[in-house]
Structure 1
């Protein structure tokens, strides 16, 4: 039980600790999946932009990555909603190496972060 609590504390503190030694990228590479037909779509998006991935609109607030490992553990602030709708389906940080920790919950589509765009 104590090990489980310690492990949960490490995962919960991970993004907060990473922000101290993280740098903002110019944007992010995202991947979308249509679960019905198995199609994937890779998208490049800049900070502050909104793109359509299948039937979803995805807005990127920021993409951060470890300073000492630019291709490493990226995390991006995404807002995702169905095209033509107002209510967000997802609004928060998504981590590239652990997408299940904070994931989009949609019956047909899935979106995850691949990496940040670095200079």
Structure 2
């Protein structure tokens, strides 16, 4: 992080959150999640961190159209559609949780991963 040019870390807040999270119980997935990313703690942490960086409105406010995508025989909407896109990418061999991949990802790559009803 020392050489990061577009990201800043508030160390005081990081320590504060780490202090209370240290006492949280994070059970291994029991299959209740919408999509199975396995139970490798590193993959699950990567999923959690990546998805939280993408926590935004999934609606085109100019048109009122929500983001939707078709996957596994179902139409997914809103944040579930984003989860579906990530699962589809990972299952298809796209290393979307890799920092190396994300550092070099292109707009075209993202258009392919997040193919759906809105851009």
Instruction: State the TM-score, normalized to the length of structure 1.
Output: 0.27
Q: Which has the higher contact order (CA 8 A, sep 6+)?
A: 1
- Decide which structure has greater helix share: 2
Q: Greater strand percent: which structure?
A: 1
Structure with max Cα Rg: 2
